[in-house]
């Protein structure tokens, strides 16, 4: 059966109060979200925060203030984010290093949703793992 799903609409991240504070435009958030990943911090109804890029949105749960419904046990550092870019990974890696981000692994070959990919990995302030990949065309 062919999947009837079109794309990822949004995703929830759970963050500690420290990262929650960063999402209120402190230096760490500005660097991680805006400069490093090119995302925008969006304020939603009730002062909720989300990270937006392209046609995607990551909603952010703050520990102790999670929205309902939610995962059974939302925990900071429990998310793995997988992002695809057309920018060469050497450029992405250089940008991450220039921003002081430690690349944990990569570039390494992996299996993507559509075809083989090459990936690099790093962690945010809450230890969530982020993978940025290029499809190997």
Residues serving a catalytic function are: 131
**How far is 52 from 27, CA to CA, in rounded Å?**
18
Question: What Rg, from alpha-carbon coordinates, does the chain have?
Answer: 15
**How far is 81 from 137, CA to CA, in rounded Å?**
22
H or E stretch including 95? helix 89-98
Token pair, residue 39, equals 């995302």
Strands in the chain per DSSP E: 10-15, 40-43, 49-53, 56-62, 80-84, 105-111, 116-123, 129-135
């Amino acid at each position: 059966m062919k999947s009837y799903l079109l794309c990822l609409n949004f995703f929830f991240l759970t963050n500690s109060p420290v990262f929650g504070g960063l999402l209120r435009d402190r230096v760490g958030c500005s660097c991680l979200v805006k400069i490093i990943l090119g995302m925008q911090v969006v304020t939603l109804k009730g002062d909720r925060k989300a990270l937006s890029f392209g046609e995607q949105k990551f909603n952010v749960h703050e520990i102790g203030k999670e929205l309902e419904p939610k995962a059974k046990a939302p925990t900071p550092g429990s998310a793995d984010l997988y992002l695809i870019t057309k920018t060469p990974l050497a450029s992405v890696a250089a940008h991450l290093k220039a921003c002081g981000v430690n690349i944990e692994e990569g570039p390494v070959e992996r299996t993507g949703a559509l075809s083989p990919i090459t990936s690099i990995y790093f962690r945010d302030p809450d230890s969530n793992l982020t993978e940025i990949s290029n499809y190997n065309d």
